[in-house]
């Protein structure tokens, strides 16, 4: 199959989107995800051309975010699976590594992306970034500065922001 083969894109994305149902809130998976919509929801229709959007909610594990969920979208371009999907955080979040776009080496570093990388791996990496802020790949300098100089204040602001905008975990 060539890089432009639409059937490869459809088969791979459909299969991986279906796997996301296996890491729901009642699963035994360490990382939890609530799948809300995919371009494959109506099995009688062919997915549209152009970008496809998978929408769902992450259920982070850290203290700040453990009582709610965070809406994200995977934007799957026409070059998929040879180019990584884009990950967007749709829920407001105060975080050093997130500014609606996820600073995710797995997705931004072309050498680490492979066509066999699963959507579950992406969800696991995004959840890890949310649960474990780092000084690598800063996207929100103010949050990063506060995270490093006044952790208590960072946690207060992050928690308040999350409480204003969080989504339920079910």
pTM: 0.87
* pLDDT for residue 106 is more than 50: no
Q: Which residue has the higher pLDDT, 137 or 164?
A: 164
117 φ, ψ (degrees, to nearest 5): -65, 130
Q: What is the pLDDT of residues 132-157, one digit of tens each?
A: 998 988 889 999 999 999 999 999 99
Residue 111's pLDDT is what? 55
* pLDDT for residue 170 is more than 90: no
Q: Which helix (H) or strand (E) holds 31?
A: none
Residue 22: closest CA among 9, 35, 40, 13: 35
Residue 61 CA: distances (Å) to CA of 25, 40, 43, 129, 143? 12, 29, 33, 11, 19
* pLDDT for residue 91 is more than 70: yes
Q: What is the pLDDT of residues 22-75, one digit of tens each?
A: 999 999 999 999 999 999 888 777 777 889 999 999 999 999 999 999 999 999
- In which band, very low, low, confident or very high, does the pLDDT at 17 lie, cut at 50, 70 and 90? very high
Residue 113: closest CA among 145, 140, 79: 79
How many angstroms separate the CA atoms of 53 and 40, rounded? 10
- Cα-trace Rg, the chain: 17
The fourth-level CATH superfamily of domain 6-165 is Ubiquitin Conjugating Enzyme (3.10.110.10)
């Amino acid at each position: 199959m060539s890089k432009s083969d639409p059937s490869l894109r459809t088969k791979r994305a459909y299969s991986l989107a279906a796997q996301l149902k296996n890491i729901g809130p009642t699963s035994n998976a360490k990382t939890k995800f609530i799948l809300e919509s995919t371009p494959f929801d109506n099995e009688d229709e062919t997915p549209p051309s152009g970008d496809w959007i998978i929408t769902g909610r992450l259920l982070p594990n850290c203290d700040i975010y453990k009582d709610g969920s965070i809406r994200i979208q995977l934007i799957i371009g026409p070059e998929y699976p040879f180019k990584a999907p884009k990950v967007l955080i749709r829920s407001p979040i105060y975080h050093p590594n997130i500014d609606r776009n996820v600073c995710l080496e797995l997705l931004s570093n072309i050498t680490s992306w492979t066509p066999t990388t699963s959507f579950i791996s992406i969800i696991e990496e995004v959840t890890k970034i949310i649960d474990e802020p780092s000084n690598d790949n800063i996207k929100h300098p103010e949050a990063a500065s506060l995270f490093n100089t006044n952790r208590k204040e960072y946690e207060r602001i992050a928690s308040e922001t999350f409480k204003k905008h969080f989504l339920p975990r079910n």
